[in-house]
């Protein structure tokens, strides 16, 4: 997997990105974006992760190898060449069209003694849906979680912007 590199997408209304809090052993980042889709449409598109996820932030180099089974116990997984695979996160809560919660470690956090919770909400808003992604991770971060929180924030901001762009093409 390539290093976590900040992603800059030139969109008219970029995602609101924020490191909510960070310490040496954990952090919380929040990404917020408004889309011109219904909550049900945005939720369904989120589940088609292989259609919008940045392949630069995959182990296989291809977003087409990603899948998200949007049901309790479902897997946000990636198929690797030669039969291997990665479980990025596990679905622990689903309210279709409203909210999905996943647990696990994204990207290089997988190889640290960390765990995370990604809470994704789809709230009806004027002219569409507000999508809010909160990702909280804690555990042992060699060098300190507060040092890597901005990079995680940038990567997730890029992913949310890609989801927004994908939704704009499906209308």
Confirm if 123 and 134 have CB atoms less than 8 A apart.
Answer: no
Of 144, 155, 133, the residue nearest 28 (C-alpha)? 133
Confidence bin at 15 (pLDDT 50/70/90)? low
State yes or no: pLDDT of 126 exceeds 70.
Answer: yes
Distance CA 129, CA 135 (A): 19
Share of the chain above pLDDT 90, in %: 82
pTM of the predicted structure, to 2 decimals: 0.89
Per residue in 135-156, pLDDT (tens digit) is 999 999 988 999 999 999 999 9
Per residue in 50-67, pLDDT (tens digit) is 999 999 999 999 999 999
Task: Report the mean per-residue pLDDT for the chain.
Answer: 90
CATH annotation of 28-169: 3.30.530.20
Distance CA 39, CA 131 (A): 8
Per residue in 95-118, pLDDT (tens digit) is 999 999 999 999 889 998 899 999
Query: Exposure pattern of 43-73 as b/e (b: 16+ CB <10 Å)?
Result: bbbbbbbbebbbeebbbbeebebbbbebeee
pLDDT for res 17:
86
pLDDT for res 11:
32
Q: Is 28 helix (H, G, I), strand (E, B) or coil?
A: strand
State yes or no: pLDDT of 2 exceeds 90.
Answer: no
């Amino acid at each position: 997997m390539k290093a976590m590199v900040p992603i800059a997408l030139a969109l008219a209304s970029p995602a609101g990105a924020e490191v909510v809090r960070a310490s040496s052993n954990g952090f919380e980042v929040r990404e917020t974006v408004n889309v011109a889709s219904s909550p049900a449409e945005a939720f369904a598109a989120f589940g088609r992760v292989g259609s919008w996820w940045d392949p630069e932030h995959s182990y296989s180099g291809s977003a087409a190898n990603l899948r998200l089974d949007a049901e309790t116990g479902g897997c946000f997984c990636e198929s690797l060449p030669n039969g291997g695979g990665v479980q990025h996160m596990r679905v622990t809560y689903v309210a279709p069209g409203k909210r999905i919660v996943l647990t696990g470690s994204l990207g290089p956090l997988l190889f640290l003694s960390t765990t995370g919770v990604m809470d994704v909400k789809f709230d009806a808003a004027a002219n569409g849906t507000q999508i809010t992604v909160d990702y909280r991770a804690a555990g042992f971060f060699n060098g300190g979680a507060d040092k890597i929180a901005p990079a995680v924030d940038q990567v997730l901001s890029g992913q949310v912007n890609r989801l927004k762009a994908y939704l704009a093409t499906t209308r």
